[in-house]
Structure 1
Amino acid sequence: MLGNVSELDIRLIRVFLAVVEAGGVSAAQTALNTTQPTISAQLSSLETRLGFRLCHRGRAGFALTQKGSQFLDAARRLLAAAEGFRLEVQHINRTLSGTLNIGLLGQIDPVANKNIALAIARLRARHEGLYFQFTELSSSFLEEKIINGHLDLAIGYFWRRLDTLDYFSLFRETQIAYCGSSHPLFDQAGTLSREDVAEHQWVWPSHPLPEMPAPTSIERLTALTDSMDGAALLILSGQHLGFLPQHYAARHVDLGQLHALNPEQLRYEVCFHAAVRRSTRQSDLVSAFLTELMDVFGVG
């Protein structure tokens, strides 16, 4: 009697099912792509392993025995279960689960935010067991949190370009120099030169990017902050000039609270990157999200 079902047994059972579905040994030759003697030998081998006869075959035609009919039902259930197992394993292999900890620089351009949301939607549509946890941080903390393992991936602009991190360019942001409505330069703003603004006090990032040339001497950079909201408040106070993302300042410009000093000259472009630890770059979760990000932003 058949004990543990081996790979050989599965092959022989498939032969038996093919013969039943074809209605006989001769008819099954095409489906099995083999000869009638080989099929007969395989059926005999299966019957020997089972310890009972499955079917009558010969000149009188093909017919299942009573035990053969019972075995047919059991064989179909076995192979259906095996196929279900195969599909389930494939699904496990395709499906990601877990939590991605994402760090974001605050006040990202709405268009860029929409693309990030699209990347999330695409990934979640395929992997319902995947969850996201977001933390909003200033640039000075994003890299630190990635390195110490508190974040899996961060989106922002980075000035240090650490050897232990990989950086992937996503999109660019325009930053323009502004003054507040109570600043002495407000009524002249629009075509001011660098010489016109160099003697005034500025708010400046604590960690400026290489692509950010200082608009004045270091003595005039009298307020340092990595907070965009903090920089905006200092500029709105009329006490400082400073750079803000164009999309962020737009609402204040519309309200007459800010004016660009010279949008053609006093501006610069910063590149936003996705940053990940090199040790986690090949993580399935991180790699899948990074791939989606680069696809929706059209980079890579």
Structure 2
Amino acid sequence: MRRFDNIDLRLLRVFATLAETGSFAAAQIVLNLSQSTLSTHLAALEQRLGGALCLRGRKGFRLTPLGEETIEAIQDLFESIETFQSRISQAPAELGGRLRIGTIGGIINSPHMALQHVLARVIDQIPNVYIDLRLGVPQDLELQVAEGTRDVVIGPFARHAPGVHYVELCEEPHGLYCGNLHPFFEMKDANISKDMIDQARFSVRAYRKLEDLQRIRHPRASGSIVHMEAQLMMILSGSFIGFLPEQSALPYVKNNQMRAIKQSIYNFSSQHYVAFRNIDKNNRIINVFVNEIINTYKSTISEVG
């Protein structure tokens, strides 16, 4: 009997997604992986299992007999993992546990999510919980929760991964900003032409580059960032214009360090979600966290109303 010690669960999830989507192209989109990376992961798993798992060609994508058996075994394995997690999540509160959270940068400025207050209330309810908080970009966070390396993630997720449950939180308005050292800062909006916008150095979000360019029909990017803190630095340098969440920009606008450019034209809102795997719906710690962040959002909305 062959032994399969230490098989990477990520490889199994990649193959399960490939089988579920039914094509390499679709799996690449869901997993946010390049074709070469996806092929490398599949080859590594096939080598470990000792045979081909799928075939692709003129007849299209199809699983081999080994691939079909592997998918059934993966489903059984994931069900067992779900059972394990469910039992542990129902353990007495004094046992505590680990909560691995992933979120985008700049969320501390959001009055609707107020993650720092949510964390405090979670710890009040589960004093022995171990909090593992990481920052990331939306695509990576979505992949991490689908793979199970993060328990719950928060962000503006454009692609909804299979096996992941998404709960709508709030819409975050964005504007186009310049710093007080930029030539646009002292100009009236009416005097800033589209040609001038096109000539300005434009800093884009690296993970949404094409979207940012399209929003203002800008011909090119002159810089890129991953976290909003980096975008703040780019704009405050006086060399770039760029999109920012209004809440992130607000303190600097109040201090006369930056301003929005043609806010009625250059604006958009991104929908934020809290996401976790379907198999974790009964996880006590995750439920406490999700309930607290939803209640925080509802209470801030009612206060504004």
- TM tier relative to shorter chain: 0.5 to 0.7
Q: Does 1:146 align with 2:148?
A: no
Mind listing any 5+ residue stretches in structure 2 that lack a counterpart?
A: 1-89, 300-305
Kept in 2, the 8 Å contact 1:194–1:266? The answer is: no
CA-to-aligned-CA distance 1:136-189 (integer Å, 9 cap, x gap): 223342123223322100112222222232221112222110112232322225
Kept in 2, the 8 Å contact 1:158–1:209? The answer is: no
For residues 255-270 of structure 1, what are the structure 2 equivalents within 5 Å? 255-270=255-270
Mind listing any 5+ residue stretches in structure 1 that lack a counterpart?
A: 1-90
Higher-Rg member (1/2): 1
User: Under a length normalisation based on structure 1, what TM-score does the superposition of the two structures give?
Assistant: 0.59
For residues 34-49 of structure 1, what are the structure 2 equivalents within 5 Å? none
Moved more, 212-221 or 268-277: 212-221
One-letter amino acid of the counterpart of residue 265, structure 1 = I
Name the counterpart of 2:214: 214
RMSD, aligned CA: 3.0
One-letter amino acid of the counterpart of residue 187, structure 1 = E
Classify 1:172/1:194 alpha carbon distance in 2 versus 1 (closer, same or farther; 3 Å): farther
Name the counterpart of 2:135: 136
Quick one: distance in 1 between partners of 2:93 and 2:154?
Answer: 26
Quick one: distance in 1 between partners of 2:216 and 2:265?
Answer: 14
Kept in 1, the 8 Å contact 2:166–2:274? The answer is: yes
> What percentage of residue pairs aligned between the two structures are identical?
22
Name the counterpart of 1:181: 180
Quick one: distance in 1 between partners of 2:229 and 2:93?
Answer: 42
Name the counterpart of 1:203: 203
Name the counterpart of 1:160: 159
Classify 1:157/1:280 alpha carbon distance in 2 versus 1 (closer, same or farther; 3 Å): same
Q: Which secondary structure does the structure 1 equivalent of 2:282 belong to?
A: coil
Name the counterpart of 1:224: 224
For residues 45-56 of structure 1, what are the structure 2 equivalents within 5 Å? none
Kept in 2, the 8 Å contact 1:140–1:226? The answer is: no
For residues 1-300 of structure 1, what are the structure 2 equivalents within 5 Å? 97-108=96-107, 109-114=109-114, 116-191=115-190, 195=194, 197-208=197-208, 214-217=214-217, 219-298=219-298
Q: Which secondary structure does the structure 1 equivalent of 2:253 belong to?
A: helix
Kept in 1, the 8 Å contact 2:205–2:212? The answer is: no
Give, in angstroms, the shift of residue 256 of structure 1: 2.9
One-letter amino acid of the counterpart of residue 206, structure 1 = A
Quick one: distance in 2 between partners of 1:170 and 1:209?
Answer: 24
User: Under a length normalisation based on structure 2, what TM-score does the superposition of the two structures give?
Assistant: 0.58
One-letter amino acid of the counterpart of residue 168, structure 1 = V
Quick one: distance in 1 between partners of 2:191 and 2:170?
Answer: 29
Q: Which secondary structure does the structure 1 equivalent of 2:219 belong to?
A: helix
CA-to-aligned-CA distance 1:231-251 (integer Å, 9 cap, x gap): 222222333211111122223
Name the counterpart of 1:75: none
Kept in 1, the 8 Å contact 2:137–2:207? The answer is: no
Quick one: distance in 2 between partners of 1:106 and 1:213?
Answer: 21
Task: Say how many residue pairs are matched.
Answer: 208
Name the counterpart of 2:40: none
Kept in 2, the 8 Å contact 1:225–1:231? The answer is: yes
Give, in angstroms, the shift of residue 220 of structure 1: 2.2
